[in-house]
Structure 1
Amino acid sequence: MGCGLRYFNQLIQAVGLLLVSCNTQAEPLRVITLSPSLTELVYAIGAGDTLVGVIEGSDYPDDALNLPIVGNYHSINIEVILSLKPDLVLTWASGNSKQQLNRLSALGIASFSAQEGRLDQLPQTLRSLGKRLNHEHEAEQGAQEFERELQQLRQQYSQQQPLTVFFPISVDPLMSFAPSSWMNQQLEICGLQNIVDTTPVSYPILSWEFLLLENPELIISNDPIYWQRYPQLNAVQQQQFIHVNPDYLHRLTPRTLLGVRSLCEQADIFRKKKRLQTL
């Protein structure tokens, strides 16, 4: 009888542990993202249903537009974040205020920090997020697809005849990025040469005199009308503008490669045009 009772108690404990384990795994995380890129990444690995709050500018996919806003690029609202009772806050190591992130940590809110690295580091970020959010299978699929597409683009375009290009992030002030920035990799993949040389600043403010002196062959811009005020530029004289959805090229997400492919294909048209002109 004693053995039977002891066995019964052990069985009840085992079932209890199993139930606790199942409930723990089934219980959804409550996640907040502090950059539009991270919002996209969470959806990309199939974990969008874990999101309870996002940063301003999180507009993809459309479901993200229905989520509470917890702040913007300049600051986050700690009170709103606390009211959403997150289990995890996803941050960019170089994009969010350390002071505010330290405050979140002091309040006992767990965080996961992603680095703004190189394009070929994005698959690892996807895998890490997948592991943290219990979506490893979807994350692995997305990571492998990204790696295949990135390799294919490099093989197809990176060794093509180089063209000089200017890629403004803003025009007032005139700002672009240095070769050290991850965004420069998009140009390298397409066989394009950034007119901004090596600088100690990743995103330098430039002078218009510098632009006129460097005189790029191509300009990446969705507003070619603006540039007509500078007819002395080669790119304006030849009307050689590349138009790409800025969200593709400014956010490090799987959609970035859609932008890179469009960038490469348009650059190749101008490359062939230049080749014909030299015959």
Structure 2
Amino acid sequence: MRPVWALPLLLLFLGACTESRAPSDHVSTVTRIVTLAPSLTELVYAAGAGEHLVGVSAYSDFPAAALELPVVGDAFMIDQEQLAILQPDLLLIWQGGSPAHVVDNLREMGYNVEVIRTNSLNDVSAAISRIGELTDKADSAGLAVREYEQGLAAIAARAGTQDDIRVFYQVSARPLYTISGDHYVSELISMCGGHNVFSDLQELAPTVDVEAVVERDPEVMLASTDAGDHAFTEWERWPDLAANRFGNHFRMPADAIGRATPRLVQAGEAVCAALDEARRRRLGN
């Protein structure tokens, strides 16, 4: 059974596929922020605006300071009484995380809502910059963006011109979800010299069938650590899969790869390390 705490990470992959809403045009400096996704909590701190947080979503556990803040709910269920007590002048909502009717209702109630897109690596930079703009923290946000982008550039430089290797990223086993080429995890795979075998699909986090995975014969299978020790057990029925022949099953740090934040640099390093090991095994070294 999937652990309860793993659900938010799965939703981070799946929710971004839903319809988005137009962002707020509000540009006045804000001082009381509530976030409705753990990744957004992290992005506020990254921008240097953590002092303005007065409430956060469930599962906001990084940095540690976030654990001290009131929890107002999550992307789907919001404690309206708690929200009214906190009197935020800005609600940050992750695009695709909260249903459209939730966003609309909050706006109708008079809340200033900013919808943040976090599908790609570049979206993380844009999100930090936007939060910095809204909170008059442009300098600290700019520094965070530079450090994040330099970290990604360093990963790309180290990967260089590595031999291409076929990769399957398993978001969940039942149902079987993966990622398309537009997802930030696919970008990390490409940055490390890998080829996402489902990069051609249109939906950001599509369902696929087992036969399609077998047909595309990945040399590497990746999943996050929240999938548990048996993430790849079902694939043992296909011993001829390249990933099985080489034993190339790797689990990535769940929070780092499951949240679109500057910790994607850490996730990228883990992906590259896995693909490097897979190449060594392929060569028999």
Smaller-chain TM-score bracket? 0.7 to 0.9
Question: Match of 1:166?
Answer: 168
Which amino acid counterpart does residue 259 of structure 2 have in structure 1? R
Aligned position for 1:179: 181
Following the alignment from structure 2 to structure 1, what is the Cα–Cα distance between the partners of residues 275 and 201? 25
Aligned to 1:5: none
With the length of structure 1 as denominator, give the TM-score of the two structures: 0.82
**Alignment partner of 1:268 out of 264, 272, 276:** 276
Deviation, 1:88, is 0.9
Amino acid at match of 2:90: L
Which residue matches 1:243? 251
Partner Cα separation in structure 2 for residue 214 and residue 45 of structure 1: 40
Structure-1 residue corresponding to 2:70: 68
Find the partner of 2:232 among 227, 231, 235.
227
Question: How far apart in 1 are the matches of 2:244 and 2:144?
Answer: 39
> CA distance change for structure 1 residues 105 and 199 in 2, over 3 Å: closer, same or farther?
same
Q: Is the 8 A contact 1:71 1:77 kept in 2?
A: yes
Distance in 2 (alpha carbons) for counterparts of 1:229 and 1:99: 38
Q: Residue in 1 aligned with 2:20?
A: none
1:34-113 equivalence runs, <5 A: 34-113=36-115
- Corresponding position of 1:143: 145
**Partner-residue secondary structure (3-state), 1:112:** strand
> C-alpha displacement at 1:39, in angstroms?
0.3
1:180 corresponds to which letter in structure 2? Answer: D
Q: What letter matches 2:184 in structure 1?
A: W
1:6 aligns to what? none
Contact 2:167 2:196 in 1 (8 A): yes
CA shift at 1:85, angstroms?
A: 0.8
Q: Secondary structure at the residue paired with 1:272?
A: helix
Query: What is the alpha-carbon distance in structure 2 between the residues aligned to residue 218 and residue 210 of structure 1?
Result: 15
Unmatched runs of 5 consecutive residues or more in structure 1: 1-23
Corresponding residue to 1:192 among 191, 194, 202 = 194
**Is the 8 Å Cα contact of residues 224 and 241 (structure 1) preserved in structure 2?**
no
Which 5+ residue runs of structure 2 have no aligned equivalent? 1-27
In 2, Cα distance between equivalents of 1:158 and 1:115? 29
SS state at 1:269 partner = helix
**Once the 2 structures are TM-superposed, how far is the Cα of residue 159 of structure 1 from its aligned partner?**
2.9
The residue that corresponds to 1:16 in the other structure is none
Per-residue CA distance 1:161-220 (angstroms, 9 max, x = gap):
111111111111111111122321111111111121422322111212222222211111
Instruction: Name the CA shift for 1:258/1:79 in 2 (closer, same or farther; >3 Å).
Output: same
**Cα distance between partner residues in 2 of 1:56 and 1:224:** 25
**Residue number in structure 1 paired with 2:208:** 206
Count of paired positions:
252
Name the SS of the counterpart of 2:252 in structure 1: coil
- Please tell me whether the aligned partners of residues 36 and 91 of structure 2 are also in contact (alpha carbons under 8 angstroms): yes
Residues 228 and 92 of structure 1, relative CA distance in 2, 3 Å threshold: closer
What's the C-alpha RMSD, in Å, of the aligned pairs? 2.2
Corresponding residue SS for 1:175: coil
Whether the aligned pair in 2 keeps the contact of 1:177 and 1:184 (CA below 8 Å) is yes
Larger radius of gyration: 1
Paired residue secondary structure (1:121): helix
Query: Using a 3 Å threshold, how does the CA distance of structure 1 residues 225 and 91 change in structure 2: closer, same or farther?
Result: closer
